[in-house]
Amino acid sequence: MLQWLLEQDFMPHGHCYFWRPDILWTHVISDAVVALAYYSIPITLVYFASKRKDIPFREVLGLFAAFIILCGTTHIMGIVTVWKPLYVIDGMIKAATALVSIVTAAVLIPLVPVALSMRSPAELEAANLLLREEVERRRTAERRLEAAVENLYRSNEELEQFASAASHDLQSPLRAVVNFTQMLRESCAGRLTSEDQEFMSYIEDGGKRMQSLITDLLQISRIGKQEAAPEPVSMDKALEQAKRQLQANIAEKGAVVEVAGPLPEVMGNVAQLTQLMQNLIGNAIKYTSAETRPHIRVSAAREENLWHFVVADNGIGIPEKHLRAVFVIFRRLHTEDEFPGTGIGLSLCKKIVEHHGGSIWAESDVGQGSRFHFTLPAVQSTTPPDR
Ligand code: ADP
């Protein structure tokens, strides 16, 4: 095999040039320069690939390098065969070059569409610039939003402090107005005309109404302030307590409060959850027509980490367009004469539920009744009671 490869029974290529130095050296020097140039290209490619690990089609670079080295070697053989007729080796190298060039071309052609679809560095730079501008715009918007939230938070705090202080400080002068009016009525008994009596009762009623407004406002401003950590609260107990507070109203209207199975325990503040039940059941009893005997049904169902409660009544109902508005503070759908109230009850419920991490909403069929839904966080180890 080696003998075959090194077979030299041929004429050296120099003979074809008649050993004329001008032709011979033109070929030799040109071949040498071309070979040198060819060999330098793979070195540059290897250096480039070692510096840029992210370049695409790295494997094709290897094929390129092999192809170029072989091309260079065919030129070296062009020099060798001027003096040494190693045409077999020369042919073998040419064949190898042909093979590698076919493989390179075959690999390269399908890569053309992929390469064409790739973004050019200029395009990437432009996209990058746009992206940077967008990031900057968003950062500015975010900073503005943070400042606005901070401002809102502060003014909300100030408002709450104001409401709390004002309602607290208003309590005692108001108590004085109500008490002294009562005393005046007693001490002037017999000397007052019926008109005077009427005016006196306006003062008393106004004073009492203001007292309940202040009490409700104070309650709302206290949610979330200096309270104990949430603890498991039995909603059955909260409901019982609420019913006890509403005993007079329940008895007066002959209301029935039905509970669909045992109510679960939730995480929270017992006083607030009792207040929540009291407001919802109190409203359910209050907002019924005179001919209707209030029937209230309380139920609960587990939904992942929450308990979903429903307080359903057979009252007058709420028109669809007011279903959200009723949770806004001071928003009332009736006059004081129709149904007395402060317009704070449901907004207090909303604040309590949201403070517990839940949500509250209402559904209603006018003339048939309403359903108040709210969610509260379950005690983690709680399993749903058997229904
Ligand atoms: P208040 O009862 O003191 O007016 P609320 O905030 O508790 O204040 O309720 C706001 C309004 O929502 C009430 O004025 C009433 O019109 C309506 N509302 C509340 N609960 C019910 C209910 N169960 N059925 C019908 N209307 C209701």
Residue 258 main-chain phi, psi, to 5 deg: -100, 140
Work out which ligand 1 atom sits closest to the CA atom of 348: 6
Residue whose entry in the numeric block shows the structure tokens 């020099």: 79
Cα gap 178→202, rounded to integer Å: 11
Cα gap 175→209, rounded to integer Å: 12
Report CA-CA distances (Å) from 26 to 4, 35, 69, 73.
30, 14, 22, 18
288, 332, 338, 347: residue to mutate for ligand 1 pocket, most atoms within 8 A of CB: 332
| Ligand 1 centre distance from Cα of residue 277 (Å) | 14
Q: Please choose, from the candidates 235, 242, 233, 301, the residue with its C-alpha nearest in 3D space to the C-alpha of residue 267.
A: 233
Report CA-CA distances (Å) from 23 to 36, 66, 78, 370.
20, 30, 13, 109
Q: Six-digit token pair at 252?
A: 């007066």
Cα gap 375→387, rounded to integer Å: 19
Residue whose entry in the numeric block shows the structure tokens 């260079």: 72
DSSP string, 96-157: HHHHHHHHHHHHHHHHHHHHHHSPPHHHHHHHHHHHHHHHHHHHHHHHHHHHHHHHHHHHHH
Q: Whose CA is nearest to atom 14 of ligand 1?
A: 332
Q: Whose CA is nearest to atom 20 of ligand 1?
A: 283
Q: Six-digit token pair at 309?
A: 């409660």
CA torsion, ordered 236, 239, 243, 249, to nearest 10 deg: -140
Q: Six-digit token pair at 233?
A: 């609260």
Give, for all 387 residues of the chain, the pLDDT tens digit. Answer: 788 878 778 899 999 999 999 999 999 999 999 999 999 988 888 888 888 877 777 778 888 899 999 999 999 999 999 999 999 999 999 999 999 999 998 988 888 888 888 888 888 899 999 999 999 999 999 999 999 999 999 988 888 788 778 777 888 888 899 899 989 888 988 888 989 888 988 998 899 888 888 888 888 888 877 678 899 999 999 999 999 999 999 999 999 999 998 999 999 999 999 999 999 999 999 999 989 999 999 999 999 999 999 999 999 999 999 999 999 999 999 888 888 888 999 999 999 999 999 999 999 999 999 999 999 999 986 455 544
209, 297, 318: residue to mutate for ligand 1 pocket, most atoms within 8 A of CB: 318
84-132: per-residue pLDDT in tens? 999 999 999 999 999 999 999 898 888 888 888 888 888 889 999 999 9
| Ligand 1 centre distance from Cα of residue 263 (Å) | 24
Three-class SS of residue 33? helix
Q: Mark residue 306 as left, alpha or beta (left: phi above 0; alpha: psi -120 to 50; beta: remaining).
A: beta
218-236: per-residue pLDDT in tens? 888 888 776 788 999 999 9
| Ligand 1 centre distance from Cα of residue 57 (Å) | 71
Q: Which residues line ligand 1 (CB under 6 A)?
A: 279, 283-284, 287, 313, 315-318, 326, 332-334, 341-347, 370
Three-class SS of residue 301? strand
Q: Whose CA is nearest to atom 2 of ligand 1?
A: 341
Residue 318 main-chain phi, psi, to 5 deg: -130, 130
283, 286, 352, 353: residue to mutate for ligand 1 pocket, most atoms within 8 A of CB: 283
Q: Whose CA is nearest to atom 25 of ligand 1?
A: 317
Report CA-CA distances (Å) from 194 to 190, 197, 220, 250.
10, 5, 39, 34
